[in-house]
C-alpha cells in the first residue's frame, strides 16, 4: 500500500508525533510506502483564497469550488496544493494525525481539507458518499485528546466521539468516497504516566497490524435516496 500521513501538531516532541513516528515505522516495516505531510514543519498555508489559483474562470467574483475544479483540470492550481493532491491520489490509505482541538481538527489540518480536497477530483454533482471521487481509498483518524474515555459515549457528558467527529468522518472523508476506519484515540494524554503512554503506543501498533481486518464505519448510501436526494419511500 501507499500510505499518506497528514500530521498536524505544533510540538515536534509531542506524544501525537510519537504516534505518527510509530505509524511510519510499523507501516514501513510491513512493506508499505509511507509519505508524511508534516503540516507544521511545512509551514502549510491553511487559508483558502483567490491566491490558490493561477488562472480564473471568473476573475471578478470568487466561487472557490468552481475555481478549484477548473484550476485542477488546467494544472494551474497553487503548487503547494498540487503537491498534496499528488500524494493524495497516490495513497491507498490516508492517516490524519493530530491533537483534538475543540472536538475537531486543528485549523492547519482543516485548511489542508479545504484546499486539497478539490472539487472535480474528490466530489462533484452526485459523486459523493459511496460514489465519491476517492472511492477505494481508506482513511483513518489517529488523534489524542485531554478528556477521559468515560466522557464519551451515548450517555456520557460529551456524547459519542463519532458524533462530535461527524463533519470529518462522514461530512468529509466519507463524502469523498473513502472507507473510513474506526478512529484510533489516545485519551487523557497530557495527564497520564509514561507507562500509560507506552500502552497507547502498543495498542496503536496492534491496531496498525490489523488494519486489513477493520470494518469501515457505516453511513448512508446514495441508492437509499431518489434523484433529488429525498429518501426513497419505505426505506426510512
* Rounded least distance, CB 220 to a second copy, Å: 6
- Judged by beta carbon, residue 30 or residue 65, the one nearer a second copy is 65
Q: How far is the CB of 139 from a second copy (least distance, A)?
A: 13
Shortest distance, position 10 Cβ to a second copy, whole Å? 5
Q: Which residue number, 101 or 207, has a Cβ lying nearer to a second copy?
A: 101
CB of 229 to a second copy, least distance (A): 5
Q: How far is the CB of 91 from a second copy (least distance, A)?
A: 18
Site of interaction with a second copy (CB under 8 A): 10-11, 13-14, 40, 46-50, 61-65, 101-108, 110-111, 113-114, 117, 129, 146, 148, 150-151, 155-159, 163-168, 170-172, 175, 190, 220, 222, 224-225, 228-231, 236
Taking the least distance from each CB to a second copy, the nearer of 175 and 204 is 175
- DSSP letters of the chain? -EEEEEE--S-TTSHHHHHHHHHHHHHHHTT-EEEEEETTTTT------GGGBSS-SSTTS--HHHHHHHHHHTT-B-HHHHHHHHHHHH-SEEEEEEE-BTTB--HHHHHHHHHHS-BTTTBBTTB-GGG-TTTT-EEEEEEE-SS-GGGSSTTSTT--HHHHTHHHIIIIIITTT-EEPPPEEETTGGGS-HHHHHHHHHHHHHHHHTGGGPPPPP---GGGB-TTSPBPTT--
Task: Kindly tell me which of 27 and 109 has the beta carbon lying closer to a second copy.
Answer: 109
Amino acid at each position: 500500500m501507499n500510505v499518506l500521513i497528514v500530521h498536524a501538531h505544533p510540538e515536534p516532541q509531542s506524544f501525537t508525533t510519537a504516534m505518527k513516528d510509530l505509524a511510519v515505522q510499523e507501516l514501513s516495516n510491513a512493506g508499505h510506502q509511507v509519505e508524511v505531510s508534516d503540516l507544521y514543519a511545512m509551514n502549510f498555508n491553511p487559508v483558502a483564497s483567490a491566491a490558490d489559483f493561477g488562472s480564473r474562470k471568473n476573475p471578478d467574483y470568487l466561487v472557490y469550488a468552481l475555481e478549484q475544479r477548473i484550476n485542477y483540470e488546467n494544472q494551474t492550481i497553487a503548487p503547494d496544493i498540487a503537491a498534496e493532491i499528488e500524494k493524495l491520489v497516490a495513497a491507498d490509505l490516508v492517516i490524519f494525525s493530530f491533537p483534538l482541538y475543540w472536538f475537531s481538527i486543528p485549523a492547519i489540518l482543516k485548511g489542508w481539507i479545504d484546499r486539497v480536497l478539490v472539487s472535480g477530483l474528490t466530489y462533484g454533482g452526485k459523486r459523493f458518499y459511496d460514489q465519491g471521487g476517492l472511492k477505494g481509498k481508506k482513511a483513518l483518524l489517529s488523534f489524542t485528546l485531554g478528556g477521559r474515555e468515560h466522557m464519551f459515549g451515548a450517555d456520557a457528558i460529551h456524547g459519542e466521539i463519532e458524533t462530535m467527529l461527524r463533519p470529518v468522518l462522514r461530512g468529509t472523508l466519507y463524502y469523498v468516497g473513502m472507507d473510513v476506519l474506526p478512529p484510533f484515540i489516545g485519551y487523557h494524554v497530557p495527564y497520564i504516566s509514561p507507562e500509560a503512554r507506552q500502552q497507547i503506543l502498543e495498542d496503536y501498533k496492534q491496531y496498525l497490524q490489523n488494519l486489513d481486518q477493520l470494518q469501515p464505519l457505516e453511513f448512508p448510501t446514495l441508492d437509499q435516496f431518489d434523484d433529488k436526494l429525498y429518501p426513497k419511500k419505505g426505506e426510512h
